[in-house]
Amino acid sequence: MKVLVTGANGYLGTGVVKQLLDDGVDVVATDIRTNFIDSRADIKEANLFELDDPYDYFGKPDVVLHMAWRDGFKHASLNHINDLPAHYSFLTKMATAGVDRICALGSMHEIGFYEGSINEDTPCKPQSLYGISKNALREATELLCKDNDVKFQWIRGFYIVGTSTNGSSIFAKIAQAAKDGKTEFPFTMGLNQFDFTDYELFCEQVAAVAEQEDVLGVINCCSGRPMTLAQRVEKFIEENGYNIKLLYGQFPDRPYDSKAIWGNDFKISVIMDKRHSKNS
């Protein structure tokens, strides 16, 4: 199996590429910049949106794991809407040229304001340009795959916890603050409950999805249980030995964030159970 990973130089892409390579997968890794990509991959620095025949250019991969996306933490960025046609054009070129499977990274922000557990059939009413664009690409790609007899997988990511300072998540900001020697961090009340997955486990889940084709469609990569933001951030600070105190109530919650939302982990549990059984 040859897997093309787009967005391979990003925060998530670098970890997923490493996991795929550790699993013995033939990986073609691409991004506009490639300085952080594992050197074991077949690295191709390119702008996806400018390639006339990406399928041939990337060596006719069996699977495209499409993780490329700008401004993922800037939910109001116009780049989400402006880039949408280019994402669809790229995937169309891959689907019509002969790729066997398209596996793309989505987001729980496709759902919008919702209370409770999200499954694959939960209605989507996104509340941000980021969520709207991801949801539109999901729907368009599913039709594209159906029309071209291409297998379709949509990985719905939730909240990812990692110590990298390369990002705009709350955890990256705290890690950067600790690196800068700060001892206080302005925070919300942290009462909202979300689904958190550690970075390494998330990368393993994404790789596991891409390495199999028995489970298709929308797949939640998640923990399957909620935790308040305050609890997870306090735990994160303790786990990493940061000398930082949270200043609660300094910022309001985002108005479109749900009070309690988490993923149904049935599909990813099936995939991971098979993976662990195979490796044991």
CA-CA distance, 8 to 16, in Å (whole number)? 8
- A 10 A CB-CB count for 133 gives 24
Q: Is 130 a catalytic site residue? A: yes
Task: Please give the C-alpha separations between residue 183 and each of 17, 237, 239, in angstroms, as whole numbers.
Answer: 34, 11, 16
Please, what's the b/e burial string for 208-229 (b: 16 or more CB within 10 A of its CB; e: otherwise)? bbbbbeeebebbbbbbbebbeb
Q: Which of 130, 159, 199, 256 is catalytic?
A: 130
State the pairing for strand pair 227-228/193-194: antiparallel
Give me the amino acid identity at 236.
F
Residue 57, Cβ density class (10 Å: 0-12 exposed, 13-18 middle, ≥19 buried): middle
Please, what's the b/e burial string for 60-77 (b: 16 or more CB within 10 A of its CB; e: otherwise)? ebebbbbbbbeebeebeb
Catalytic residues: 130
